[in-house]
Amino acid sequence: MGVSCVQRKSFVREDCSLEVCSLFAGSRAPIRILFLENLTRLFCENLPDLWRLGTAYLSGKIAKGVKKTTRVDGSKHTQFKQMVQDVVQYYCNAVRSAFLPDSLENLPAEIRLAAGQWGSADPKKDSPVSWLPICVRHIRACMQSISLLELSSDSVALLQDLSFDLRWNCMSTLLKQAIE
């Protein structure tokens, strides 16, 4: 497209997919930043497809060879909603594990392990401050992309909380650095 990767732009296409130019043209990004970029790209490419597939199934649009009067079990709606919320929760926990590990302290050990563990306990050492605003942009672009779907308010709230926490972390880290 017309956006060069040097400009470090993120934008959302009309079909709900996130398009992010690689941040790393000619630079060496920290591993956490690479992780965030790839995870966000995968999440924003696949969640809309999962959502469309599930809603098509639940509305009976893909029931080929089945009578039109056949209704999908009502519990499937609840299961599908929970499945999508679990995917969003897993994404949020993985990002938190990389950038905000202290925010996962109250979760059970199994969930923290599933979210991933990073070698250094201090993400600030592995993620230079100059990269934090780019992380926030990725999460915000992801939220914008996902907001085009009609997700449950619980799933949207998980993404909003993650975005707020990352913005807070970014601002407090930048201000601390400015003071020093």
- pLDDT reported for residue 64: 63
Residue 178 neighbours by CB distance under 10 Å: 8
Over 60: is that where the pLDDT of 63 sits? yes
* Residues 153-164 pLDDT 10s: 999 999 999 999
Residue 40's pLDDT band, with cuts at 50, 70 and 90, is: very high
> Measured between alpha carbons, how far apart are the two ends of the chain, in Å?
41
Residue 91 neighbours by CB distance under 10 Å: 23
Question: What's the pTM value of the predicted model, to 2 decimals?
Answer: 0.75
The token duo for 128 is: 């230079």
In whole angstroms, what is the distance from residue 37 CA to residue 44 CA? 11
Q: Domain map of the chain by residue range?
A: 5-63+72-179
